[in-house]
C-alpha cells in the first residue's frame, strides 16, 4: 500500500541520516517532526540520543540502587509517585516485570538528582522518565534524562515554580494571536493557565492514555525548541474552540472542560499546526510581553546558547524551512498568516488587562493557586 511504501522510504531516509558522516542531525529532526515521527522504538533508541547529543558509546555504569536510596531527601516522594504510576505501564504487563521497571525508574531519578544537585525533583517528572525507560531501557534512559533535565526540563527543576509559571504565561499570547475570541472568552472566565500545568511538565505523558501518542509527541518535542510543548498546549485549546465558547463563562466550568483532555485528538494535524505557529509567532516575539529579567533566567530564552546542535542543525531552522515549503505548497492565502495585532496588545495593556505575561500574569497565577483548593482542582488526577 501507499502508506507502507511511504513508511519504508522514511525508514531508509532515517538510516541514511544516521549513517552519514557526520550524522545528519537536521534530517533526523525533520523526520522526528514530520508525519508519523520516528515510527518505531528501535529507531527511537538510535535517534533520540542524536537529538540530545548524547554519546551512546560511553554510557556510565548505573550505580547500585541501595546506596542511592540511603539518606536521599527525595526518595520517599519519588517512591510514592512511582507507586502511583501503574497506568503508565502497558496494560497486561506481568506484575513482576512492572515492579522491576518501577525499581529502575526510582534509581534513574535518584541517580540524575544525585549527580545534579542543582536540580529539584517535581511531581510529574517520573511521567517523563518512565516514557524514556519504556522506550530505550534503563542505561540509555539515564543518560537521555540527565541531558534533558539540564536543558529542556531545566526550568521545571528550579527550587521555585517561578520559571514554570513564566512558561505557562506564553499560552495566552499564542491563543490571542490566532483566535482573539477564544482568548477574550478565557480572560473573561478568569480561567488562568493552571489547567495546562500537568501537560507541560510531563510533556503530556501524564494525561494521554495511549502510549503511542505520548512517544509520538516526544519525537516532536525532542526535535524542537524547549517551548514547543506550550505551543502544542495552545493548539489543543484552539482545536477545541467551539467547546470552549459553548461553555459557561466561569472559571470552574472552563477549567473543568480544558483539564479533561480528549483522547482522540488529530495528533499529526496538531503537531503540524504547533510547528507552524512556532514559526509565525516565535517565543522571542511573545517574550516582549514577558518581564525581561524573568525571561533572562529561563532555559527557554537561553536556547540561543543551547549547545546541543551546530548551526545548520538548529531545530528552529528545520521548522522554518518546513513552514516555507508548506506555504509554497498551499498558495499564500490570507488565512495562513494572521495579521500582527500589536495595536490590540497595546489596548489591552492600557486597559490594565495585560495578563499576557510578566508581573501581572504571575499575580494571576498566584491567585489561581490560591483559589485552587476551593474547587479541589487536582493538577494530577
In this chain, the answer to whether the domains covering 2-156 and 161-312 adopt an identical fold is: no
User: Of 41-55, 115-129, 225-239, 337-351, where does mean pLDDT reach its minimum?
Assistant: 337-351
Place of cell 525532542: 222
pLDDT computed for residue 300 by the predictor: 54
Taking 50 as the threshold, does the pLDDT of residue 234 lie above it?
yes
Confidence (pTM): 0.80
Domain-wise residue ranges, the chain: 2-156, 161-312
| pLDDT tens, residue by residue, 203-212 | 999 999 899 9
Predicted confidence (pLDDT) per residue in 319-344, tens digit: 888 777 777 766 555 444 444 444 44
Question: What CATH class does 2-156 carry?
Answer: mainly alpha
* CATH code reported for the domain at 161-312: 1.10.472.80
> Given this model, what pLDDT does residue 322 score?
79
Q: Is it the case that residue 288 has pLDDT exceeding 50?
A: yes
Examine the pLDDT at 29 and tell me if it is beyond 50: yes
Measured distance CA(323)–CA(90) in Å, rounded: 36
| Cis previous bond, 17, omega within 30 | no
Dist CA 12 CA 10 (whole Å): 5
Alpha-carbon Rg of the chain, whole angstroms? 21
Amino acid at each position: 500500500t501507499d502508506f507502507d511504501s511511504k513508511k519504508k522510504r522514511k525508514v531508509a531516509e532515517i538510516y541514511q541520516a544516521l549513517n552519514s558522516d557526520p550524522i545528519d542531525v537536521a534530517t533526523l529532526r525533520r523526520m522526528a517532526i514530520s508525519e508519523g515521527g520516528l515510527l518505531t522504538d528501535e529507531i527511537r533508541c538510535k535517534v533520540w540520543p542524536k537529538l540530545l547529543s548524547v554519546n551512546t558509546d560511553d554510557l556510565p555504569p548505573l550505580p547500585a540502587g541501595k546506596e542511592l536510596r540511603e539518606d536521599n531527601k527525595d526518595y520517599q516522594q519519588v517512591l510514592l509517585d512511582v507507586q502511583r504510576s501503574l497506568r503508565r505501564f502497558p496494560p497486561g504487563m506481568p506484575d513482576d516485570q512492572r515492579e522491576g521497571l518501577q525499581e529502575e525508574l526510582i534509581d534513574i531519578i535518584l541517580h540524575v538528582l544525585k549527580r545534579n544537585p542543582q536540580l529539584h525533583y517535581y511531581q510529574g517528572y517520573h511521567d517523563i522518565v518512565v516514557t524514556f525507560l519504556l522506550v530505550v531501557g534503563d542505561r540509555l534512559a539515564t543518560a537521555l534524562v540527565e541531558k534533558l533535565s539540564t536543558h529542556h526540563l531545566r526550568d521545571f527543576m528550579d527550587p521555585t515554580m517561578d520559571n514554570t509559571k513564566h512558561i505557562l504565561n506564553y499560552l495566552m499570547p499564542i491563543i490571542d494571536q490566532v483566535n482573539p475570541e477564544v482568548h477574550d472568552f478565557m480572560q473573561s472566565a478568569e480561567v488562568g493557565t493552571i489547567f495546562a500545568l500537568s501537560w507541560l511538565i510531563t510533556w503530556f505523558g501524564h494525561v494521554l492514555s495511549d502510549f503511542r501518542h505520548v512517544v509520538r509527541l516526544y519525537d516532536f518535542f525532542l526535535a524542537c525548541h524547549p517551548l514547543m510543548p506550550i505551543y502544542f498546549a495552545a493548539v489543543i485549546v484552539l482545536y477545541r474552540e467551539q467547546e470552549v465558547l459553548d461553555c459557561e463563562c466561569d472559571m470552574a466550568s472552563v477549567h473543568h472542560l480544558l483539564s479533561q483532555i480528549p483522547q482522540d485528538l488529530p495528533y499529526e494535524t496538531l503537531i503540524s499546526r504547533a510547528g507552524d505557529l512556532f514559526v509565525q509567532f516565535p517565543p522571542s516575539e511573545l517574550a516582549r510581553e514577558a518581564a525581561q529579567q524573568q525571561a533572562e533566567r529561563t532555559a527557554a530564552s537561553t536556547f540561543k546558547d543551547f549547545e546541543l546542535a551546530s548551526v545548520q542543525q538548529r531545530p528552529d531552522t528545520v521548522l522554518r524551512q518546513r513552514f516555507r515549503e508548506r506555504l509554497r505548497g498551499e498558495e499564500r492565502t490570507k488565512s495562513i498568516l494572521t495579521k500582527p495585532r500589536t495595536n490590540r496588545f497595546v489596548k489591552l495593556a492600557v486597559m490594565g488587562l495585560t495578563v499576557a505575561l510578566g508581573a501581572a500574569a504571575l499575580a494571576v497565577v498566584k491567585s489561581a493557586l490560591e483559589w485552587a483548593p476551593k474547587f479541589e482542582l487536582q493538577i494530577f488526577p
